[in-house]
Amino acid sequence: MSARERLGSSFVVVGATLWVYGATWAPSITWEHRGSDGGDLIAAAAIGRLSHPPGAPLYHWCARTLVRIVDVDPARVLNGLSAVSAAGATLLVWHCLRRRGVLPWIATASALTMAFAPWYWSQAVITEIYSMAALLSTAVLLLTASYAWKRAGLQWIAVGAALGGALSVHPATIFLLFYLVWQKGFRPLPFLSGLICGLVPYALLPITVRGPQPWGDLTTLSGWLTYVSGRIYWGYAGGLPGRYLPRRLLAWAVMLSRQFTPPGLLVVGVGGFRLWRSDRRQLLGLLLALGSVSLFAVGYNSADSWVYLVPFLPLGTVLLSEGMMWLKEQGMPSWAGLLIPLALLAVNWCAMDLHGDQVAQSWLWSTLDALPENAVLLSEEDRYTFALWYGVDARRWRPDVTVIDLRLWGYEPYRAFLEATAGLHGTTIEALAGSRVLCKIVPSGDVVCQ
């Protein structure tokens, strides 16, 4: 394939992906697509404080830099960061497949299938970390895909650094290790040295983020370890009650079929058989990585645990391309693979389209407008707390209002943060509020003031 043809195909992949994401991304803060964490990420980037554990330091640095450079709504900026990261991962997948010997049309169809898979697409149009995690996990795949490096040690240093970067965005990408250790020529020591370099952002957190933080105390080693290990979430891992496991497994199977369409999932299975005949070690690595992260997601006791699978969709795309190559060998036209991404576009557009979404913004504006002066506002749901952090802290719409999350109230670093930033003191909420009006958000989203 000539350089001009490669450039043209790359332009088609990136152009189509960015056009779709640009037409469907959220205009500002949103609660759709399990995006309630966005308010926390935006506030952290806008004012330079920590987001929820384990902090995603590499994402935080990129987000903070962009918010400082681009002087518009930070929510819109970070929605754009997700879109660009997702499109970049799509391009890297295309190059990875070409390195594996996949035909251009099939590589394009497979990459666009990943781009328009509902899990992947949903995270590309909101503020979240999973698109950037997918970008880095795809870089890991590309760096291991049939490169003829003169020094294998340098290759595995680069692979380790890419995985370290992915872990510095989300720790669930650790399951990529199951894929890497089964690669031919795996070099543990160079890989480990690169991995340590990629994890440096975690070590730099106490230096780059100063002052009391709502999510942790980084002034001590134990506080740093508690934060970067995400200890407050440990109870969720493997915490799904056994009686819900069959239902969760069924939901996982149904949702997985929707990522590639049911016919596409059959093609993925065919790709597995083709890879078994050519490279069993690689197939085993792919299945171990996909299987282990799936078990983790299925057993994780939260409704949105499927998001942990987003950075692993590139692995499924490799199998999809193998299946399409087999169909090509049986006489199928190369372009026929484009029917799968086109079907995904047609089926999922309405569900993914957030360009007119105003629900979170409308709630935020009406809530802040209704609050009395100097109110202390209590919340105990992520979507409400994080939206308020976005409005009060990042946008400074009502700087006189103090937001308190009741679930974090018993957490000592959070209490210290409130004392340092809001000047509030007291062992009870009422004492903390003092003479200020105390209001609370009830489950319906309405505000009740005493």
pLDDT in tens, the chain (450 residues): 566 656 767 788 999 999 999 999 999 999 999 999 999 999 999 999 999 999 899 999 999 999 999 989 999 999 999 999 999 999 999 999 999 999 999 999 999 999 999 999 999 999 999 999 999 999 999 999 866 565 768 889 999 999 999 999 999 999 999 999 998 888 999 999 999 999 999 999 998 887 889 999 998 999 999 999 999 899 999 999 999 999 999 999 999 899 999 999 999 999 999 999 998 999 999 999 999 999 999 999 998 899 999 999 999 999 999 999 999 999 888 788 899 999 999 999 999 999 999 999 999 999 999 999 999 999 999 999 999 999 999 999 999 999 999 999 888 888 888 888 777 666 677 777 778 899 999 999 999 998
Query: Distance between CA 209 and CA 225 in Å, rounded?
Result: 15
The string over 19-57, giving b where at least 16 C-beta atoms fall within 10 Å of a residue's C-beta and e elsewhere, is ebbeebbbebbbbbbbbbbbbbbbbbbbeebbbbbbbbb
Query: Distance between CA 306 and CA 161 in Å, rounded?
Result: 26
The string over 271-294, giving b where at least 16 C-beta atoms fall within 10 Å of a residue's C-beta and e elsewhere, is bbebbeeebeebbebbbbbbebbb
Edge to edge, what strands does the sheet with 438-441 contain?
A: 402-405, 376-379, 438-441, 447-449
Q: Three-class SS string for 158-200?
A: HHHHHHHHHHCCCHHHHHHHHHHCCCCCCCHHHHHHHHHHHCH
| DSSP per-residue string spanning 233-288 | GGGGTT-S-GGGHHHHHHHHHHHHHHHH-HHHHHHHHHHHHHHHHH-HHHHHHHHH
If residue 439 lies in a helix (H) or strand (E), which one and from where to where?
Answer: strand 438-441
Report angle CA 406, 407, 409 to the nearest 5 degrees.
60
Tell me if residue 304 falls in helix, strand or coil. coil
**Max CA pair span of the chain:** 78
* Dihedral sign for Cα atoms in the order 306, 310, 311, 317: positive
Are the beta carbons of 80 and 21 closer than 8 angstroms?
Answer: no
Q: Please give the single-letter amino acid code of residue 308.
A: Y
